[in-house]
Amino acid sequence: MEDAEIRKRRGVCSTALLLNWVGRTAEQDQEEEEEKTLELSLGLPGGGRRRTACREKGKHPAVDGSVDLSLGYSKVVPNSQVHTSGWLDLRVSRKGLDGLVLQLPDCFSSDNLNLFGSLMAHSKANGSPEAVTRNALAAPNNNSSRTRSPGAPVVGWPPVRASRRNLASSSRAALEQQNVKKAVKAEETKRAPFVKVNMDGIPIGRKIDLNAFNTYEKLSVAVDKLFRHLLAAQRDPRTEECPPEEVAISGLLDGTGEYTLVYEDYEGDRVLVGDVPWGMFVSSAKRLRVLKTSDLSSSLITSNRKRTAADC
Amino acid sequence: MSTPPSSSSAPIPTLASPGMRDAADDSDSPPSHMSEDSDGSGAGPGGDTWTPDLRGTNGGNGGNGGRWAPPDQVLENVLESVLEFLTAARDRNAASLVCRSWYAAEAQTRRELFIGNCYAVSPARAVQRFAGLRAVVLKGKPRFADFSLVPNGWGARVSPWVDALGPAYPRLQRICLKRMTVSDDELALIPRSFPLFRELSLVCCDGFTTRGLAVIAEGCRHLRVLDLTEDYFHEETEVVDWISKFPECNTSLESLVFDCVSVPFNFEALEALVARSPALRRLRVNDHVSIEQLRRLMARAPHLTHLGTGSFRSEPGSSGASSVSDLATSFAAAAKSLVCLSGFLDVNAEYLPAIYPVCANLTSLNFSFASLTSEELIPVINHCVNLRVFWVLDTVGDEGLRAVAETCSDLRELRVFPLDATEDSEGSVSDVGLQAISEGCRKLESILYFCQRMTNVAVIAMSENCPDLVVFRLCIMGRHRPDRVTGEPMDEGFGAIVKNCKKLTRLSVSGLLTDKAFAYIGKYGKLIKTLSVAFAGNSDMSLQHVFEGCTKLQKLEVRDSPFGDKGLLSGMNYFYNMRFFWMNSCRLTVKGCGDVAQQMPNLVVEVMKDHPDDEGEVDTVDKLYLYRSLAGPRTDAPEFVNIL
């Protein structure tokens, strides 16, 4: 999950796709073959699985296994869909002007299913990310070719009664509060982005001001200081004496430590910290996470690092 | 005419089956007399005694050559007096099926009639069967009407019922309506038809104004309960001063709830009314009541058990604004009796500490309209050690829920509503809060939880820690959202709930779900009566699992899921055992629905299209609502409803 995202992020900087998958039968797949389709290949997390069969799709073979989404145009020949272990073929077809519908072939089984239901993205063809998201969300779940108008909000969802809608904006106090919060937020994003930092396994999060640092090293030290105590308290308060022994949290940036620092950008993608220039990082990071390195595949991290070095 | 219902086959529905009970009602507010399983008030012995006449047709104690009643008559009279003690409809339905004489005896003695779907039976038929009703409970529109999924004008007008009940039951005391359209004229019929009328409860109803309320206040001289809960109150041209219309002498009012009637009213009249209503125990006012006014009301009604606090804010620009300690004094005086607190409709958090004196005695606290931060809520929560029911907005946060878990070990019902009910809102509660609650509130029976992030682990933990769960409603607001940590579907979480919570009767699912989740539900959800599904499943197998497995299923609501005619048809053998089946924005066709209608004569199959004038799309069905009925297709359907 995180793997898939991170891998995806590495290779294809500007493209990805919102998946809103709906199961369809094989017959329906065949009807679609004449339509223009975008094809997507998504690897399962857990690292390093490669395609073991070649497809007749023509374009965009996966770049060495551990990869990225590749987008392109091709005709899909239904009968040639080979379903190998670990790989799923996702076909995206266009419905109407702007809508995108994603269908999974019926032959996938939930045993193999380990992917995020929603990866944020935008495609070059359709412009802004928001538009695609909305359009995909607006895609119909029935087999009529009539779609909801793109961008239309879903009626009655989430299911709260009318008296509970607009609670955030209805009361005077809430309105004031909101205005104050908005003003503060606007200020914050302009000058000092306080970002939340959450560590795996620790329910309490922290906030730090990225502008207070100017290198990744300093950031790493700060994160260590913030969470060192909490981590120790978490370890086993009953058996350890108090104060429990505090262990420095190291190796956050290079994958050598027990934990690794990751950030989420405004599109919701998760990216390893340390790869982009500092200034770019500060302006794009929305929040930070300290994840267990073991949850991320180690070969993944090193291979990604190599690629990044090569790209730059 | 009555056949004993068997559990698997589809019996000919009798009046008994439409009245079949379902437990936990989906009413959004504490009063539980809308539930079928409750004993209902005023219908039991002592409340309204009916003494059997053992003397036969002639009166007199054996004098005047009075005849002894024949043996059958005696038996019937004895039976009637015994049945008097049966109050729950389920028991009464069962008794009525024993034999003809029991059927007749039961029909004579039933005091409360519960009709879960106003179109399931005609008013005439109900009136014909039951001779001595004192209370009628009617439910109208399908629940998804609350979420704007049922177009205006669909139906559920109360007029045919009021027209029929009036002449038949002059002694009627109580009417409870849910999701029905009630006009002012229909309200006006109540005092005219029922001189002994005592209780009116309108939940999620629409169509009436203050004019109708004025007629009730003025005409029902014995009124004890006027409860208006979450009704749709439209702005009117002219607001009537209905509060002034109550009788000028001491009233019998026990409960006055009007927080949803959000128009200004005559406060002095209310204060005077409260002062002359010595029996008043429940008072919930609207947001046009300030703190200062609240204090005056509390002073007039020192024995209140349930209080809705109005705005909980000082009057703007008021020179005599109450201080927090003044307000606290008012609450201290109420501490002995107050058990249920709600309102806070425009809360000024500074005044919150004023309620500390009552917190320890509170069993029910409703903050669900109060936008308060966790810092503001936690000190209050910490005082509420005896809380059993807690409704709150998600601004309470995971930290606030942790405080609840630590303090409220007796909690039975929790509802966490979203402050910002949109799919991509920030969402301040998550799996962390749910896990904390599960660990601290082991006696939890009912939960409604709106969030943006959830994990299977937390849901599984709740299933293991809270085995008494009867109602589990989890709404992950982002559609198709998977487990936030593993990225997997939420199948295992919901599977654990149905498997471990053996008393579960109501379930609402959300998040990314495959057919597997429904396989679990079918396999383990043997007591489930109400199931709500949205944006879930991958194929018609999901529906099949549910129909085949959930043998006690009464109400099924489905929206925006990839189910088609095949799924619909898999329910054919089960529809007569259910109250209704709702399905919108799925993949149904008119033909499929038509097949069902054709094969099942006692089922009413209504289909609706969102845009009736679309060409080329005649075949699809946007909304399906099918329900068993003894009344046949209704005659009041609007043109957008097509009854197949």
Mean pLDDT by 10 residues, chain A (312 residues): 45 37 39 42 40 37 38 39 38 41 43 37 37 36 36 80 82 49 48 72 81 84 83 64 66 82 80 82 83 67 43 40
Query: How does DSSP classify residue A146?
Result: P
Q: Considering chain A, what percentage of its residues have pLDDT values greater than 70? A: 34
Among A101-115, B188-202, B525-539, B566-580, the range scoring the smallest mean pLDDT is: A101-115
**Are B583 and B563 within 8 A, CB to CB?**
yes
> Phi/psi of residue B208, each to 5°?
-115, 165
Check CB contact under 8 Å for B149 and A156: yes
A-chain CB neighbours of B402 within 8 Å are: 203
pLDDT for B512 equals 96
**Are A6 and A300 within 8 A, CB to CB?**
yes
B450: helix, coil or strand? Answer: strand
Residue A167's H or E segment, with its range, is helix A167-170
Distance of CA A273 to the CA centre of its chain: 15
- Partner-chain residue, chosen from B148, B479, B485, that has the shortest CB–CB distance to A155: B148
- Partner-chain residue, chosen from A20, A115, A163, that has the shortest CB–CB distance to B230: A163
* Structure tokens, B617: 């799309």
B-chain CB neighbours of A118 within 8 Å are: 478, 480-482
A-chain CB neighbours of B437 within 8 Å are: none
Check CB contact under 8 Å for B479 and A167: no
Contacts of residue B103, Cβ cutoff 8 Å, sequence gap at least 6: B2, B96, B97
Q: Which amino acid is at B369?
A: F
Secondary structure in 3-state letters for B136-158: EEEECCCHHHHHCCCCCCCCCEC
B247 prior amide bond cis, ω within 30: no
Q: What is the mean pLDDT of residues B466-472?
A: 97
Distance of alpha carbon A245 from alpha carbon A241, whole angstroms = 8
Q: Which amino acid is at A251?
A: G
- Partner-chain residue, chosen from B313, B369, B480, that has the shortest CB–CB distance to A117: B480
Closest alpha carbon within chain A to B483: A116
Angle formed at CA B530 by CA B592 and CA B433, multiple of 5 degrees: 125
Say yes or no: ipTM exceeds 0.90: no
H runs (alpha helix) in B475-601: 491-500, 515-524, 541-549, 565-569, 590-599
More confident residue, A291 or B291: B291
B-chain CB neighbours of A142 within 8 Å are: 564, 585-588, 620
Q: Which residues are A199's β-sheet partners?
A: A290
Check CB contact under 8 Å for A143 and B564: yes
pLDDT for A109 equals 41
pLDDT for B220 equals 96
Q: Tell which of A24, A112, A141, A179 to mutate to test the B interface (max B CBs under 10 Å).
A: A141
Q: What is the mean pLDDT of residues B341-360?
A: 95
Q: Tell which of B231, B516, B538 to mutate to test the A interface (max A CBs under 10 Å).
A: B538
Check CB contact under 8 Å for A167 and B475: no
The total number of residues written for chain A in this structure = 312
Q: Considering chain A, what percentage of its residues have pLDDT values greater than 90? A: 2
Q: What is the mean pLDDT of residues B353-377?
A: 96
The answer for B430, left when phi > 0, alpha when psi is -120 to 50, beta otherwise, is: beta
Which among A57, A132, A58, A40 is positioned nearest to A95, based on CA atoms? A132
Check CB contact under 8 Å for A161 and B585: no
pLDDT for B90 equals 86
B-chain CB neighbours of A146 within 8 Å are: 614, 616-617, 620
Distance of alpha carbon B356 from alpha carbon A100, whole angstroms = 54
B-chain CB neighbours of A157 within 8 Å are: 147, 423, 477, 479, 534-535, 559-560
Q: Tell which of B402, B450, B479, B483 to mutate to test the A interface (max A CBs under 10 Å).
A: B479
Residue A109's H or E segment, with its range, is none
Name the one residue in this structure whose structure tokens are 């306080």: A194
Check CB contact under 8 Å for B417 and A144: no
Residue B289's H or E segment, with its range, is none
Residue B185's H or E segment, with its range, is helix B184-193
**Are B537 and B516 within 8 A, CB to CB?**
no
CA B221 to chain A, closest CA, distance in angstroms equals 31
Secondary structure in 3-state letters for B329-391: HHHHHHCCCCCEEECCCCCCHHHHHHHHHHHCCCCEEEECCCCCCHHHHHHHHHHCCCCCEEE
Q: What is the mean pLDDT of residues B596-623?
A: 83
pLDDT for A167 equals 83
More confident residue, A231 or B277: B277
Name the one residue in this structure whose structure tokens are 């399983």: B37
Check CB contact under 8 Å for B423 and A159: no
A-chain CB neighbours of B485 within 8 Å are: 1
Q: Considering chain B, what percentage of its residues have pLDDT values greater than 70? A: 87
pLDDT beyond 60 at B259? yes
Q: Tell which of A155, A177, A182, A234 to mutate to test the B interface (max B CBs under 10 Å).
A: A155
CA A290 to chain B, closest CA, distance in angstroms equals 13
Strand order in the sheet with A206-209: A206-209, A194-199, A285-292, A259-265, A270-272
Check CB contact under 8 Å for B369 and A167: yes
More confident residue, A280 or B52: A280
- Partner-chain residue, chosen from A114, A163, A165, that has the shortest CB–CB distance to B488: A114
**Are B625 and B142 within 8 A, CB to CB?**
yes
More confident residue, B423 or B370: B370
Q: What is the mean pLDDT of residues B549-574?
A: 95
Q: Is B341 exposed, middle or buried (0-12, 13-18, 19+ CB in 10 A)?
A: buried
Q: Tell which of A163, A262, A292, A294 to mutate to test the B interface (max B CBs under 10 Å).
A: A163
* Structure tokens, A216: 């990744």
- Partner-chain residue, chosen from B393, B420, B482, that has the shortest CB–CB distance to A116: B482
Check CB contact under 8 Å for A144 and B147: no
- Name residues 110-129 of chain A within 8 A of B (Cβ): 110, 113-118
Which among A211, A231, A223, A228 is positioned nearest to A279, based on CA atoms? A211
Which among A1, A48, A40, A46 is positioned nearest to A21, based on CA atoms? A40
* Structure tokens, B457: 């682990």
Kindly state whether B480 is in contact with chain A, defined as any CB-CB distance less than 8 angstroms. Answer: yes
B170 prior amide bond cis, ω within 30: no
pLDDT for A272 equals 85
CA A77 to chain B, closest CA, distance in angstroms equals 23
Give, to the nearest 10 degrees, the angle between helix B456-465 and helix B431-440. Answer: 10
Distance of CA B352 to the CA centre of its chain: 29
Check CB contact under 8 Å for A110 and B486: no
Distance of alpha carbon A106 from alpha carbon A95, whole angstroms = 20
pLDDT for B34 equals 58
pLDDT beyond 50 at B297? yes
* Mean pLDDT of all residues belonging to chain B: 88
State pLDDT tens for residues A126-145. Answer: 334 333 333 333 333 333 33
CA B217 to chain A, closest CA, distance in angstroms equals 25
pLDDT beyond 50 at B40? no
pLDDT for B23 equals 32
What long-range pairs does B296-300 form, CB within 8 A, spacing at least 24?
B296/B271, B297/B270, B297/B271, B298/B330, B298/B331, B298/B333, B298/B334, B299/B330, B299/B333, B300/B271, B300/B274, B300/B275
Check CB contact under 8 Å for B587 and A141: yes
Q: Which residues are B514's β-sheet partners?
A: none
Distance of alpha carbon B427 from alpha carbon A159, whole angstroms = 15
Closest alpha carbon within chain B to A169: B420
More confident residue, B311 or A232: B311
Query: How does DSSP classify residue B394?
Result: G
Distance of alpha carbon A141 from alpha carbon B117, whole angstroms = 29
Kindly state whether A146 is in contact with chain B, defined as any CB-CB distance less than 8 angstroms. Answer: yes
Distance of alpha carbon A123 from alpha carbon B89, whole angstroms = 59
Q: Which amino acid is at A143?
A: N
Q: What is the mean pLDDT of residues B529-553?
A: 96
**Are B334 and B358 within 8 A, CB to CB?**
yes
Size of interface A-B (CB pairs under 8 A): 140
Confidence of residue B406 (pLDDT cuts 50, 70, 90): very high
Name the one residue in this structure whose structure tokens are 């359907």: B637
pLDDT beyond 90 at B8? no
pLDDT for B73 equals 76
Confidence of residue B308 (pLDDT cuts 50, 70, 90): very high
Angle formed at CA B141 by CA B136 and CA B143, multiple of 5 degrees: 110
Check CB contact under 8 Å for A156 and B487: no
State pLDDT tens for residues B129-167. Answer: 999 999 999 999 999 999 999 998 999 999 999 999 999
Kindly state whether B233 is in contact with chain A, defined as any CB-CB distance less than 8 angstroms. Answer: no
**Are B342 and B307 within 8 A, CB to CB?**
yes
* Structure tokens, B308: 């809705």
Distance of alpha carbon A30 from alpha carbon B137, whole angstroms = 53
- Overall pTM > 0.80: no
Confidence of residue B89 (pLDDT cuts 50, 70, 90): confident
**Are B340 and B312 within 8 A, CB to CB?**
no
Q: Tell which of A7, A19, A134, A160 to mutate to test the B interface (max B CBs under 10 Å).
A: A160
Which among B546, B611, B610, B612 is positioned nearest to B584, based on CA atoms? B610
A-chain CB neighbours of B515 within 8 Å are: 110
Kindly state whether B486 is in contact with chain A, defined as any CB-CB distance less than 8 angstroms. Answer: yes
pLDDT for B561 equals 95
Number of Cβ within a 10 Å radius of residue B334: 22
CA B560 to chain A, closest CA, distance in angstroms equals 6
A300: helix, coil or strand? Answer: helix
Kindly state whether A186 is in contact with chain B, defined as any CB-CB distance less than 8 angstroms. Answer: no
Among A264-273, B57-66, B158-167, B445-454, the range scoring the smallest mean pLDDT is: B57-66
Query: How does DSSP classify residue A113?
Result: -
Angle formed at CA A220 by CA A215 and CA A226, multiple of 5 degrees: 130
Distance of CA B409 to the CA centre of its chain: 26
Q: Which residues are B627's β-sheet partners?
A: B580, B604
